[in-house]
Amino acid sequence: MADEFDAVLVGSGVNSLACAALLARAGWRVCVLERNDWFGGAIKTAELTEPGFLHDVFSAWHPLWVGGAAHAELGNELAARGLEYLNTELPTGTAFPDGSAAFLLRTAEQNAAELGSEWPGVLERFFPNADLAFGVLGTELWSAAGLALAGKAVRRLGRAGALAFLGEVLQSSRDWLETTFASERAHGVLAPWVLHTGLGPDQAVSGFMTQVIAVAVQEGGMPIPRGGGAKLADALVQLIRDHGGVCETDKDVERVIVRSGRAVGVRLTDGEVVEAGRAVVASVTPTQLYERLLVDTAVPAPVAEQARRFRYGRSEMQIHYALSEPPRWEGDERLGLTAIVHLTPGLDGVSRAVNEAERGLLPAEATVVVGQPLTMDSSRAPEGRGLLWIQLQELPWRIKGDAAAGLDVGSGEWTDELRERYADRIQARIARHIPNFESSILKRVALGPHDLQRANVNLRHGDPYGGALALDQNLLWRPLPRSPGHATPVERLWQIGASTWPGPGLGGGSGTLVARKLLEPPLSQRAVERARGLIRR
């Protein structure tokens, strides 16, 4: 790696790999450096429990990727490198404590039957401006493109209409759900999905995200790669290498090298220097960027201070199960065929658990995300066996107590013992819905917030979403109000990843935005091209 590259990318999460793939296809010489021993960041597939059981250790579901701009451009090339997506007609549902269930399905007619007669009206209001809604998530907001999107909204909707649209974007999920659907079952199906965006149902923007996810799931389902999520990372790495790029694991970047205010490369912890002639792209949190990679670099004091004060969101836990037989759900037979089932009392249950976690308490009745990849991909486990992927997104990093008053939280820090005792609570919750669950467990592996932080430096405090998504750290203000967007105070240094817009999720959005920016023709060339266009007209 002694040669100079056009771009060096720090980290190998989906945003880095998408960015590197797009640049490599355009002829750039790229180098991806990953500190861990696997590519993919929060994408990792491993035999975590028993041989033959392939668990997606962290993230698992790829609707944002399949529906995103990077996949639209790279999908055929990735498929040629072995990436195959599987999908389902039963993407998600909620199992309620009383044994009933409700689902979000793949057609408007089915969802009207499940969620209520209000559903067609939701689609009638959403689809005419779907390009604006998805445009918000696919545009560099702090840029000329963001201004153009705002102008498009004003031209189409008028000033009052555009202001109303902005108000809808800022609405909470609770407000949107309660003013849209009479059925509490509909609330209980849709409200848990805001957790997957790093928000809670009473936060600004959560109503907008609820609508976007609901429509996206109906239209796109819940796709996963055959053989595990790592197949996406594998295919992206192969595409990069096939176009002359370099991808290396076990390469821990210690510093970004800055000369005359410009990023010119990186230095690894072993002293190796990798030069970058055109860009350094770092898929890191603000904490990593400003307190480690740029620690020896003069950055504007207000930016450094905001990075120091950057807040992380709720912590997460993962629990993985290898089962001797498939789970047999009580109640609606569709539950056993559904990709993701949420266990919750409903909207108020989600809200209560979020509130408890944000007050430093272990929730008494957490929202349990039960993922069932075998409903689509039988290759994930030996024939006749079962496999469950459990996610808990409402946990505190510093623990003040237990809302159920049943667990001793000790010093308030996560320990292996506390992790296992809390996992016992969740296991008992699941067992109420799956009678054969506990008797079929071959092995359980739980990963607490402390395990997640240790596994991936970007999962700080066990937050899988790159930082709290309160309004002052979201939209135009992500990652930092003093440094919004993906450009940084250091010339030719770009920040991508969940800490930047459009935020968390396996969409590759920030990496795609930066790749497109880097591939723009020089300003002088664009001016000439515009002039030629005017002459032709």
Q: What is the mean pLDDT of the chain?
A: 95
Q: Are 128 and 206 contained in the same domain?
A: yes
Q: Which of 424, 447, 470 is the last residue of a domain?
A: 447
Write the CB contacts of 373 (distance below 8 Å, at least 6 apart in sequence). Answer: 56, 60, 224, 339, 380, 387, 389
Same domain, 254 and 215: no
- Asked whether residue 34 falls in the same domain as residue 136, the answer is no
> What's the pLDDT score for residue 114?
96
Does residue 431 surpass a pLDDT of 90?
A: yes
Q: Cα 115 vs. chain centroid, distance in angstroms?
A: 26
479: preceding bond cis by omega (within 30 degrees) = yes
**pLDDT confidence tier of residue 322, bands split at 50, 70 and 90:** very high
Between CA 375 and CA 382, with CA 377 as vertex, the angle to 5 degrees is 100
* pLDDT exceeds cutoff 60 at 530: no
Asked if residue 291 and residue 330 are part of one domain, the reply reads no
Query: What is the model's pLDDT at position 384?
Result: 97
- pLDDT band for 527, please (50, 70, 90 cuts): low
Q: What pLDDT does residue 521 have?
A: 86
Lookup result for tokens 């936060």: 203
**Do 101 and 93 meet the contact criterion of CB atoms below 8 Å apart?**
yes
Q: Give residue 522's pLDDT band: very low, low, confident or very high (50, 70, 90).
A: confident
Q: Read out DSSP for 478-492?
A: SEETTEESSB-SSBT
pLDDT at 524 over 80: no
Average pLDDT of the residues in 45-67: 97
What pLDDT sits at residue 18? 98
pLDDT in tens, 342-392: 999 999 999 999 999 999 999 999 999 999 999 999 999 999 999 999 999
Whether residue 321 is contained in a domain is answered as yes
Rounded distance between C-alpha atoms, residue 222 and residue 237, angstroms: 23
Read off the CATH number of the domain in which 466 is found.
3.50.50.60
Residue 534 has pLDDT above 80, yes or no: no
pLDDT higher than threshold 60 for residue 517: yes
pLDDT digits (tens, 9 = 90+) for 448-491: 999 999 999 999 999 999 999 999 999 999 999 999 999 999 99
Domain stop point among 220, 238, 263: 220
For the chain, the residue count is 537
Predicted pLDDT of residue 417: 98
- pLDDT at position 46, please? 98
Which residue's structure tokens are 């035999």?
47
Residue-wise pLDDT for 278-312, tens only, equals 999 999 999 999 999 999 899 999 999 999 999 99
The residue segments making up the domain with residue 145 are 109-220
Give yes or no: residues 37 and 141 share one domain.
no
Residues 421 and 474 in one domain: no
Asked whether the beta carbons of 264 and 258 are under 8 A apart, the reply is yes
Q: Are residues 352 and 437 in the same domain?
A: yes
pTM exceeds 0.75:
yes
Tally of CA atoms within 13 A in the half-sphere of 260 that contains its CB: 1
pLDDT score at 341: 98
Q: How confident is the model at residue 532 (pLDDT cuts 50, 70, 90)?
A: low
Render 342-361 in DSSP notation, one character per residue. Answer: EE-S-HHHHHHHHHHHHTTE
Look at residue 535 and tell me if it is in a domain. no
CA–chain centroid gap for 156, Å, is: 31
pLDDT the model gives residue 537: 56
Instruction: Please write the tens of the pLDDT for every residue from 236-273.
Output: 999 999 999 999 999 999 999 999 999 999 999 999 99
214 within 8 A of 191, measured Cβ to Cβ: no
| Predicted local confidence at residue 4, as pLDDT | 87
CA pair distance 339, 244, nearest whole angstrom: 37
Q: Which of 338, 433, 327 is nearest to 102 (CA)?
A: 338
pLDDT at res. 536? 57
Q: How far apart are CA 291 and CA 304, in angstroms?
A: 8
Q: Which residue has the tokens 């031209």?
A: 155
Asked if residue 532 belongs to a domain, the reply is: no
Overall number of domains in the chain? 3
| In a shared domain, residues 272 and 349 | no
Looking at the fold, whether 216 and 231 belong to one and the same domain comes out as: no
Taking only the tens place, the pLDDT of each residue in 107-157 is 999 999 999 999 999 999 999 999 999 999 999 998 999 999 999 999 999
Answer whether residue 102 is part of any domain: no
pLDDT at 437 over 90: yes
Q: What is the CA radius of gyration of the chain?
A: 23
Residue 96 covered by a domain: no
Query: Is 422 within the bounds of a domain?
Result: yes
Q: Is residue 529 part of a domain?
A: no
50: in domain: no
Question: Which residues are bridge partners to 443 per DSSP?
Answer: 322
Whether residues 262 and 359 share a domain: the answer is no
The sign one gets for the Cα dihedral 261, 262, 265, 266 is positive
DSSP string for 291-349: IIITTTS---HHHHHHHHTPPP--EEEEEEEEESS----SS-GGGGG-SEEEE-S-HHH
Is 414 in the same domain as 336?
yes
Q: What pLDDT was estimated at residue 533?
A: 61
Q: How far apart are CA 478 and CA 469, in angstroms?
A: 8
Same domain, yes or no: 131 and 191: yes
Helices 347-358 and 173-180 cross at an angle (nearest 10°) of 170
Domain edge (last residue) among 412, 447, 482:
447
Beta strands in 36-173 (DSSP E): 45-46, 55-56, 85-86, 92-95, 101-104
pLDDT, position 496: 98
